Amino acid sequence: MSDPLYTPREIARSSQRCTVIAIEIRNEADRQGELWGVDRALPDGLMVWHRFGADLEGNARGEMGFRGDSWASILLEEVGEALQAGNAGALRGELVQVAACCMTWIDALDRRATS
């Protein structure tokens, strides 16, 4: 029998880290909800890619004509900010915002499916 990929102790530590990160993402999603409204009825905007352009290093808002008019444009704006982060701390913060946007978009999809 081969050794397990992860020991129970490693699994527990990983699970704890994931829980802490998930709580941080949920808190950011709640903060965004307070700022922009919890029940944003935005379209998905899946055709926003044609506006994004090839250069992700520039200002994402300018390149996309960002207006917050779809979930896709909001997500791409957040990704653009993450790609412009100057250090690991800033990148981590931006990635939490990306994940919170994804969580909120998924929630919006689920709400639509049940209404």
78 belongs to a structural domain: yes
Nearest CA to 53 out of 31, 79, 71, 27 is that of: 79
pTM (predicted TM-score): 0.75
The domain in which residue 35 lies consists of 8-114
Residue 51: Cβ-neighbour burial (10 angstroms; 0-12, 13-18, 19+): middle
1 belongs to a structural domain: no
pLDDT in tens, 12-47: 888 888 999 999 999 999 998 888 877 677 888 876
61 belongs to a structural domain: yes
pLDDT in tens, 58-107: 444 444 445 567 888 889 889 999 999 999 999 999 999 999 999 999 99
Q: How many domains does the structure of the chain reveal?
A: 1
